[in-house]
Amino acid sequence: QAAQAQRDKVAAMIADRYPALTSELATLIEEIMKSNAMVDRVNSDLPEGSPPLNRPEGHARGFHDHGSYDLPISIRTFRITQSMLPGIEAESRTVWPPVRDYEYHVLERGKVFSQKQVRTMFNRS
């Protein structure tokens, strides 16, 4: 009975809180992606001797976040933008990343993706 009560409590939390949390996280990720694109454009045309800007996530979390995503620090650091947020419905698509029906087959249940695969599939800059 304790397990059932705990399950019911957590299920109610999911039903109550998850839609708002996913909406907030999806909005945050969209803003990160927009800022990433702006920072990357500025970094592609810096005056000589000017240091590159870090993208917002690296700046906030304290890691170098500019240049290629294949730098050693980038490969070791999983980013918020590489998250996958499922919808609340049982047969839902993802809230993030936005996935069109013809792309859905790449998001096989239980599949583990490398960071390079994640970058390739979800790079929206």
Question: How confident is the model over 60-108, as pLDDT tens digits?
Answer: 999 888 877 666 555 678 889 888 888 888 777 788 887 654 444 444 4
pLDDT of residue 70: 62
Decide: 121 and 97 in contact? Cβ < 8 Å: yes
- Alpha carbons 119 and 96: distance in angstroms, whole number: 14
pLDDT of residue 107: 46
Question: How confident is the model over 11-38, as pLDDT tens digits?
Answer: 999 999 999 999 999 999 999 999 999 9
pTM of the model: 0.72
Beta bridge partners of 96: 85
- Alpha carbons 113 and 11: distance in angstroms, whole number: 28
